[in-house]
Amino acid sequence: MFIIQMDSNLSSYDPKLLLHGEQFLEIYKPVSASGKIRSSRRISGLHDKGTSAILELEILSRDLETGEVLFFNRSTLFLRGAGGFSPSRSQMYSYSSRTPSNNNLVVKFSKQGAVSDDTPDAEFVDHIQLSQALLYRLSGDMNPLHSDPEFALEAGFERPILHGLCTLGFAVRAVIRCCADGDSSKVQSIQCRFVHHVFPGEILVTEMWKDHSNTRVSFVCKVKNRGKIVLFGSVRLHPKLSML
């Protein structure tokens, strides 16, 4: 198994006030099934939204033995009730990311989130098991928002919700199955915006659109019974591998 050491001095927060807004991941080296990883993180942005705050967090992960950079994560966190600390407030809700491999890379999302009015190139349906959030907690995310009914009610939800990254995992797996021949090693980067929550037990429908080069797949993930878009984004595939 992996042993992960974190270098961080971040302050604690009330998880009832936190929601995951956006996520970006870029993979630089193949990750083996076992080994040791050292991850360092830093706060790269903080924005006052009036009644809430937007926190941008970057995490860089290296092989502990060789020092090689393996992957890079950038998360945008939405802190409800934490705004009003700045006299000058930005009205834009977007972020940019500069990664070690490409200093010019900029990731931005529109508020609307519409990908295309065209018929999807592929569609995949997943049924989320009622126990999925409890299983995902084994990854180390122990936020009671995903397991404690009373806590979820206090946070404004009728019952525990699924982790945003777990929902993203279902969407990316659909892209890998439908657009990458089931080969996860073809994934170079992932970006997404979380729009709405998902309850365990619901049915997810992931719609996908490929670009002309077949190296970028845009996707929208919806909850079938509520008709809600829960997240949208894109997966970039390695150019050479996608042409094989």
**Catalytic (active-site) positions:** 141, 146, 161, 164
Beta carbons of 198 and 161 less than 8 angstroms apart: yes
